[in-house]
Amino acid sequence: MAYDVVIVGGGPAGLTAGIYARTRKLSTLILEAQAVGGQLSWLYPTKSVYDYPSHIAIEGKELGDLFVVHARESGAEIAHEEVVDLKRLKSGFRLTTKSGAAYEAKTILLAMGMGLFEPKRLGIPGEAEFEGRGVEYRVRDRHEYKDRRVLVVGGGDSALEIALEIVASAQQVILVHRRGEFRAMEKNVEAVLKSPVKVLYNAEVTFIEGDDRVRRAVVYDNRTLKKSQFEIDGVLVNIGFEPKSTPLPRWGIELEGERLIKVKADMSTSVEGIYACGDIVSYPGKDKRIVTACGEAVTAIMSVYKHLRSPYWA
Ligand SMILES: Cc1cc2nc3c(=O)[nH]c(=O)nc-3n(C[C@H](O)[C@H](O)[C@H](O)COP(=O)(O)OP(=O)(O)OC[C@H]3O[C@@H](n4cnc5c(N)ncnc54)[C@H](O)[C@@H]3O)c2cc1C
């Protein structure tokens, strides 16, 4: 059976598209490789979101879960699958997944966000050894840091947000930043400087040690080369993400670079029957936010619907 629409990616864009597709009674399948809820559930589950209308403040995972429940209740099917190949058939498309499964679709909606990625590592002794035993790359649950002494490594917005997120319950939070000043948003910098977070500028972690888990780390000042040792319970590294290889360039769609899909105002791509929405799309003035991803998903589904009903729907 060919689905009316198969949506690749189960983040805010893909799940909203699923909800809207079901209001038009389209048979809908969402394929998600990593975590349903997208970046909200995987990357910042306990960070608060303050700009999603109707929720003054809501944690990432909670908002992501609400999207998932809504999509499922609407009748969209969701499967845990990584799409690796997309082929055009005489009519419609066939998607193949890493598990070897194949799905047929009359139309495709690509909502793959920033794609699949993994955290950048520091590449220092002890890091790999203690990964999962004190060394982490994202906050899965801020309550795990209660009464802990934690080094947060990084100087961008998400490192600052992580430090702010855990500082209320942690015993001590030390932010290790390799530059002499922050390049993050003024709002975050101001909040960190007003908070109990201790900031080490021009500082780099060079060594992580422990026994069954992390116990201490060595930090050096990259101007004076002076080394200091800190007794700690955890190291949270947040120095960015490295994208895993993307299948997009093989799919014959017009791209912007390797990872962004060029779309028209109706969210159609250069290939008839394939649409895209969310962080993965590129157009002048594009803003990567949850609400914009949701808005684009509605437009994309309206275009899918018109395509499927053509020429009977204007
Ligand atoms: C630290 C951080 C904080 C943020 N805070 C906010 C905020 O407060 N407010 C706000 O509005 N925005 C915020 N954003 C941005 C917001 O999270 C994104 O704009 C939003 O998640 C985009 O939704 P999306 O569905 O397009 O992509 P994503 O959320 O990235 O979802 C895409 C999904 O597609 C899946 N996928 C990728 N490739 C495949 C494949 N081949 N097969 C199957 N599945 C695949 C991925 O696993 C992912 O789950 C933040 C972003 C970050 C990084």
pLDDT in tens, 182-191: 988 898 999 9
Query: Which atom of ligand 1 is closest in space to residue 280's alpha carbon?
Result: 26
Domain CATH for 195: 3.50.50.60
Task: Say yes or no: 170 and 279 in one domain.
Answer: no
> pLDDT grade, residue 314 (50/70/90)?
low
Q: Is residue 33 in some structural domain?
A: yes
**39 within ligand 1 shell (Cβ under 6 A):** yes
Task: Say yes or no: 125 and 225 in one domain.
Answer: yes
Residues 6 or more apart whose Cβ sits within 8 Å of residue 295:
none
Query: Which atom of ligand 1 is closest in space to residue 81's alpha carbon?
Result: 43
| CA angle at 125 for the pair 122 and 127, rounded to the nearest 5° | 55
**127 within ligand 1 shell (Cβ under 6 A):** no
Taking only the tens place, the pLDDT of each residue in 121-169 is 999 999 999 999 999 998 988 889 999 999 999 999 889 999 999 999 9
User: Ligand 1, from 110, 290, 296: best to mutate by most atoms within 8 Å of Cβ?
Assistant: 290
Residue 309 alpha carbon to ligand 1 centre in Å: 30
**33 within ligand 1 shell (Cβ under 6 A):** yes
**237 within ligand 1 shell (Cβ under 6 A):** no
Q: What total of structural domains would you count in the chain? A: 2
Task: Say yes or no: 141 and 234 in one domain.
Answer: yes
The answer to whether the CB of 232 falls within 8 A of the CB of 214 is: yes
Task: Say yes or no: 71 and 134 in one domain.
Answer: no
Domain housing 134: 119-240
How far is 96 from 108, CA to CA, in rounded Å?
13
Domain termination site, one of 188, 221, 240: 240
User: Ligand 1, from 112, 158, 287: best to mutate by most atoms within 8 Å of Cβ?
Assistant: 112
How far is 255 from 37, CA to CA, in rounded Å?
25
Residue 85 alpha carbon to ligand 1 centre in Å: 21
Q: Is residue 314 in some structural domain?
A: no
Distances (CA, A) of 223 to 124, 201, 202, 206: 19, 10, 7, 14
Q: Is residue 198 in some structural domain?
A: yes
Taking only the tens place, the pLDDT of each residue in 240-270 is 888 888 999 999 999 999 899 999 999 999 9
70 versus 244: which is more confidently predicted?
70
Least Cα distance to 161 among 243, 238, 58 occurs for 238
Taking only the tens place, the pLDDT of each residue in 15-52 is 999 999 999 999 999 999 999 999 999 988 888 898 99
